[in-house]
């Protein structure tokens, strides 16, 4: 029987009402499947099955056949959380249960299609305060669960019974070795300034970053300095013209809702803006990126320029 998942809370203030409305729209418009999981091509199934092939740590034995879910049938497994996965272009889920001595273990491997979307979904469900460990590109654990990100996969492991926690760690490292591929966060995040950065705060947002459709997609990183938190947003356009277009839309938004002025001292396309509900923003463009810093600290201009230099 499919287990209902409890997924992490989303920040309304961060993503805005437009994103939450997008979830509802995706839920209402996505086709519903019948009682059985939708059959997938044998090639797709075999790639995932190989990741869980014997031998496995603890001589774990599969209990029954694996279950597969795609975008039409994911609701059968995580009815309350499927919308977010679909927002990140979820492709396929392999669900398999195992038995190892007195321990029971469940492995869920989500193929999200791209490393960016896998990170986006992973980052939507984790928080900076979690118990992180070195596995894959990034992972965290709590008693009875271990989740990690690697390449295009988001892996979620759960276990119970004697020895389950140790087995989860061994399973995760075995799967990480078999997945191979990319073991880092998306490149723009690796390049951004590290000083005063809140660890594990990075996100990749596919829809309405900060409530603005024209900023999508975007990376977001939080910084803290002198008790003040800032958000660095890197909006990814297809080219420099697209980035300048996004900057123009951002400026127009603040002109309508507050005030905005050109700030050539910040660099190409630089601007300073503020309104009563979003606060102060400084921004500039760099190639195909629009870089914006919300609630900037006193050295905000330096952070903005450093980010631009690293994204060249």
Whether 195 and 174 map to the same domain: the answer is no
Same domain as 203, residue 175: no
For residue 42, what pLDDT is reported? 52
The domain boundary, picked from 121, 155, 179, lies at 179
Domain final residue pick, 138, 155, 179? 179
Say if residue 150 is in the same domain as residue 131: yes
Total residue count of the chain as it appears in this document: 312
Count of structural domains within the chain: 2
Do 147 and 199 lie in one domain? The reply is no
What is the predicted pLDDT for the residue at 126?
A: 94
Query: What pLDDT score was predicted for residue 160?
Result: 97
The answer to whether residues 305 and 269 touch, using CB atoms and an 8 Å cutoff, is: no
Q: How many whole angstroms separate alpha carbon 298 and alpha carbon 23?
A: 37
Q: d(Cα 260, Cα 257) in Å, to the nearest integer?
A: 9
CATH number, domain with residue 21: 3.40.1000
User: According to the model, what pLDDT value does residue 6 have?
Assistant: 36
pTM comes to 0.84
Residue 107 tokens read as 């492995």
> What is the per-residue pLDDT for 7?
37
* 87 and 233 housed in the same domain: no
Question: In this structure, what DSSP letter does residue 29 have?
Answer: H
Quote the pLDDT of residue 20: 40
Could you tell me the residue range of the domain that residue 103 belongs to? Answer: 12-179
> Is residue 300, in this structure, part of any structural domain at all?
yes
Asked, for residue 6, whether it belongs to a domain, the answer is no
Contact indicator for 300, 282 with CB cutoff of 8 Å: yes
Tokens 């952070």 belong to 303
Print pLDDT tens along the chain (312 aa): 444 433 333 333 334 433 444 444 444 433 333 333 445 455 578 889 999 999 999 999 999 999 999 999 999 999 888 999 999 999 999 999 999 999 999 999 999 999 999 999 999 999 999 999 999 999 999 989 999 999 999 999 999 999 999 999 999 999 999 999 889 999 899 999 999 999 999 999 999 999 999 999 999 999 998 788 999 999 999 999 999 999 999 999 999 999 999 999 999 999 999 999 999 999 999 999 999 999 999 999 999 999 999 998
Is 207 found in the same domain as 149? Answer: no
The CATH number covering residue 296 comes to: 3.40.1000.20
Dihedral angle of Cα 80, 132, 199, 214, to the nearest 10 degrees: -30
- Of 123, 152, 179, which one is at a domain's C-terminal end? 179
- Tokens representing 274 are 């503020």
Is 213 in the same domain as 95? no
Instruction: Say if residue 214 is in the same domain as residue 145.
Output: no
Q: Is residue 115 part of a domain?
A: yes
pLDDT, position 43:
52
DSSP states along 51-88: GGPSS-GGG-EE-S--EEE-TTTGGGT-TTTHHHHHHT
């Amino acid at each position: 029987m499919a287990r209902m998942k409890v997924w992490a809370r989303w920040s309304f203030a961060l993503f805005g009402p437009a994103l939450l409305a997008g979830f509802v729209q995706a839920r209402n418009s996505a086709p519903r499947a019948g009682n059985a999981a939708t059959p997938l091509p044998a090639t797709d199934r075999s790639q995932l099955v190989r990741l869980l092939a014997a031998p496995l740590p603890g001589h774990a034995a599969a209990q029954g056949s694996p279950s597969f879910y795609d975008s039409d049938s994911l609701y059968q497994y995580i009815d309350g959380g499927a919308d977010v996965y679909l927002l990140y272009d979820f492709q396929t889920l392999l669900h398999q249960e195992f038995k190892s001595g007195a321990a029971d273990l469940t492995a869920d491997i989500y193929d999200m299609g791209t490393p960016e979307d896998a990170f986006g979904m992973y980052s939507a469900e984790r928080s900076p305060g979690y118990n992180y460990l070195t596995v894959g590109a990034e992972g965290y654990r709590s008693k009875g669960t271990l989740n990690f990100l690697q390449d295009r996969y988001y892996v979620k492991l759960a276990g119970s019974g004697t020895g389950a926690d140790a087995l989860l760690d061994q399973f995760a490292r075995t799967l990480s070795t078999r997945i191979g591929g990319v073991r880092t966060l998306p490149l723009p995040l690796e390049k951004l300034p590290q000083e005063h950065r809140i660890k594990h705060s990075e996100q990749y947002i596919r829809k309405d970053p900060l409530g603005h459709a024209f900023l999508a997609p975007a990376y977001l990183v939080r910084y803290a300095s002198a008790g003040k938190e800032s958000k660095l947003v890197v909006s990814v356009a297809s080219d420099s013209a697209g980035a300048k277009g996004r900057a123009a839309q951002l400026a127009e938004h603040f002109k309508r809702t507050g005030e905005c002025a050109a700030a050539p001292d910040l660099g190409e396309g630089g601007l300073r803006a503020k309104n009563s509900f979003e606060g102060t923003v400084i921004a500039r463009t760099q190639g195909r990126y629009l870089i914006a810093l919300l609630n900037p600290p006193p050295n905000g201009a330096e952070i903005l320029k450093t980010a631009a230099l690293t994204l060249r």
